[in-house]
Structure 1
Amino acid sequence: MDKATEKKILSYLEKKTLNKSELHQYTEQIGYMLKLGTSLRNIYGFLQEEYNIKTSYSNFHNFAKKNFNFSKHKKKLES
Protein backbone atom coordinates (compact mmCIF):
# COMPACT_ATOMS: atom_id res chain seq x y z
CA MET A 1 0.00 0.00 0.00
CA ASP A 2 1.33 3.44 -0.82
CA LYS A 3 1.98 6.07 1.86
CA ALA A 4 -0.80 8.41 0.65
CA THR A 5 -3.47 5.72 1.05
CA GLU A 6 -2.08 4.69 4.41
CA LYS A 7 -2.21 8.33 5.57
CA LYS A 8 -5.83 8.69 4.39
CA ILE A 9 -6.87 5.57 6.30
CA LEU A 10 -5.13 6.67 9.50
CA SER A 11 -6.60 10.16 9.21
CA TYR A 12 -10.10 8.74 8.73
CA LEU A 13 -9.77 6.40 11.72
CA GLU A 14 -8.39 9.22 13.86
CA LYS A 15 -11.41 11.41 13.04
CA LYS A 16 -13.83 8.58 13.86
CA THR A 17 -12.12 7.98 17.20
CA LEU A 18 -12.18 11.69 18.03
CA ASN A 19 -15.84 11.92 17.13
CA LYS A 20 -16.76 9.05 19.41
CA SER A 21 -14.69 10.29 22.35
CA GLU A 22 -16.08 13.78 21.78
CA LEU A 23 -19.43 12.52 23.08
CA HIS A 24 -17.99 11.51 26.46
CA GLN A 25 -17.67 15.16 27.46
CA TYR A 26 -21.44 15.58 27.10
CA THR A 27 -22.67 12.52 29.04
CA GLU A 28 -24.10 14.72 31.81
CA GLN A 29 -26.18 16.74 29.35
CA ILE A 30 -27.31 13.63 27.46
CA GLY A 31 -28.30 11.87 30.69
CA TYR A 32 -30.25 14.87 31.93
CA MET A 33 -32.12 15.25 28.64
CA LEU A 34 -32.97 11.52 28.61
CA LYS A 35 -34.42 11.88 32.12
CA LEU A 36 -36.62 14.69 30.79
CA GLY A 37 -37.89 12.27 28.15
CA THR A 38 -36.17 14.00 25.23
CA SER A 39 -35.81 11.90 22.07
CA LEU A 40 -32.34 10.93 20.88
CA ARG A 41 -32.91 12.84 17.65
CA ASN A 42 -33.63 16.06 19.62
CA ILE A 43 -30.66 15.52 21.93
CA TYR A 44 -28.44 15.08 18.87
CA GLY A 45 -29.82 18.31 17.38
CA PHE A 46 -29.15 20.16 20.63
CA LEU A 47 -25.53 18.94 20.75
CA GLN A 48 -25.01 19.98 17.13
CA GLU A 49 -26.44 23.46 17.69
CA GLU A 50 -24.85 24.19 21.06
CA TYR A 51 -21.51 22.38 20.83
CA ASN A 52 -21.01 21.90 17.07
CA ILE A 53 -20.35 18.17 17.46
CA LYS A 54 -19.11 16.42 14.32
CA THR A 55 -20.26 12.92 15.24
CA SER A 56 -22.72 11.23 12.89
CA TYR A 57 -26.20 10.45 14.21
CA SER A 58 -25.57 6.69 14.01
CA ASN A 59 -22.40 7.05 16.14
CA PHE A 60 -24.33 9.19 18.61
CA HIS A 61 -27.20 6.67 18.71
CA ASN A 62 -24.79 3.78 19.35
CA PHE A 63 -23.01 5.81 22.04
CA ALA A 64 -26.31 6.58 23.79
CA LYS A 65 -27.48 2.96 23.63
CA LYS A 66 -24.17 1.67 24.97
CA ASN A 67 -23.72 4.23 27.76
CA PHE A 68 -27.29 4.80 28.92
CA ASN A 69 -28.90 1.35 28.46
CA PHE A 70 -31.44 3.09 26.28
CA SER A 71 -32.77 -0.13 24.74
CA LYS A 72 -33.62 -1.55 28.19
CA HIS A 73 -35.78 1.47 29.02
CA LYS A 74 -37.66 1.08 25.76
CA LYS A 75 -38.42 -2.60 26.44
CA LYS A 76 -39.73 -1.83 29.93
CA LEU A 77 -42.12 0.78 28.55
CA GLU A 78 -43.51 -1.66 25.96
CA SER A 79 -44.29 -4.48 28.42
Structure 2
Amino acid sequence: MIDSVKMRRQCMLDFYSHYEHLCAVQGSVPLKAVKANLTQGTLDLTVDSIKAADWTPLLDAIRHDKTLTSVGIRSFHQ
Protein backbone atom coordinates (compact mmCIF):
# COMPACT_ATOMS: atom_id res chain seq x y z
CA MET A 1 0.00 0.00 0.00
CA ILE A 2 1.21 3.53 -0.71
CA ASP A 3 2.71 5.13 2.40
CA SER A 4 0.53 8.25 2.20
CA VAL A 5 -2.65 6.15 2.01
CA LYS A 6 -1.50 3.96 4.89
CA MET A 7 -0.73 7.01 7.02
CA ARG A 8 -4.08 8.61 6.18
CA ARG A 9 -5.93 5.46 7.26
CA GLN A 10 -4.01 5.27 10.53
CA CYS A 11 -4.62 8.95 11.21
CA MET A 12 -8.37 8.48 10.85
CA LEU A 13 -8.17 6.55 14.10
CA ASP A 14 -6.10 9.11 16.00
CA PHE A 15 -7.34 12.70 15.72
CA TYR A 16 -4.42 14.49 17.34
CA SER A 17 -1.66 12.72 15.39
CA HIS A 18 -3.47 13.50 12.15
CA TYR A 19 -3.87 17.11 13.23
CA GLU A 20 -0.14 17.33 14.03
CA HIS A 21 0.70 15.84 10.63
CA LEU A 22 -1.51 18.34 8.80
CA CYS A 23 0.08 21.21 10.72
CA ALA A 24 3.55 19.97 9.79
CA VAL A 25 2.57 19.72 6.12
CA GLN A 26 1.25 23.28 6.24
CA GLY A 27 4.29 24.51 8.18
CA SER A 28 2.34 25.64 11.22
CA VAL A 29 2.48 24.72 14.89
CA PRO A 30 -0.36 22.67 16.43
CA LEU A 31 -2.48 24.72 18.81
CA LYS A 32 -2.03 23.90 22.48
CA ALA A 33 -5.76 24.48 22.98
CA VAL A 34 -6.58 21.52 20.74
CA LYS A 35 -4.59 19.02 22.82
CA ALA A 36 -5.71 20.58 26.11
CA ASN A 37 -9.39 20.32 25.17
CA LEU A 38 -9.34 16.84 23.63
CA THR A 39 -10.64 14.18 26.04
CA GLN A 40 -12.19 10.76 25.43
CA GLY A 41 -13.43 11.35 21.90
CA THR A 42 -14.61 14.89 22.61
CA LEU A 43 -13.12 18.11 21.30
CA ASP A 44 -14.41 21.28 22.99
CA LEU A 45 -12.78 24.51 21.81
CA THR A 46 -13.16 28.21 22.46
CA VAL A 47 -12.12 29.64 19.11
CA ASP A 48 -11.80 33.38 19.72
CA SER A 49 -8.00 33.34 19.44
CA ILE A 50 -7.64 30.90 16.51
CA LYS A 51 -6.12 32.61 13.46
CA ALA A 52 -7.44 32.05 9.94
CA ALA A 53 -4.40 29.98 8.87
CA ASP A 54 -4.86 27.61 11.84
CA TRP A 55 -8.37 26.62 10.78
CA THR A 56 -7.33 24.62 7.69
CA PRO A 57 -5.48 21.75 9.43
CA LEU A 58 -8.00 21.71 12.28
CA LEU A 59 -11.03 21.38 10.02
CA ASP A 60 -9.29 18.83 7.77
CA ALA A 61 -8.41 16.70 10.80
CA ILE A 62 -12.01 16.85 12.02
CA ARG A 63 -13.28 15.99 8.55
CA HIS A 64 -11.17 12.82 8.28
CA ASP A 65 -11.46 11.63 11.86
CA LYS A 66 -13.48 8.55 12.78
CA THR A 67 -13.02 8.65 16.57
CA LEU A 68 -14.48 11.96 17.74
CA THR A 69 -18.00 11.58 19.06
CA SER A 70 -18.54 15.24 19.89
CA VAL A 71 -17.08 18.53 18.65
CA GLY A 72 -17.93 21.72 20.52
CA ILE A 73 -16.97 25.10 19.08
CA ARG A 74 -17.63 28.17 21.22
CA SER A 75 -16.99 31.88 20.83
CA PHE A 76 -17.31 34.59 23.45
CA HIS A 77 -16.68 37.39 20.94
CA GLN A 78 -19.11 40.29 21.33
TM-score of the superposition, structure 2-length normalised? 0.31
Relative contact order higher in (CA < 8 Å, ≥ 6 apart): 2
TM-score of the superposition, structure 1-length normalised? 0.31
Q: Which has the larger radius of gyration?
A: 1
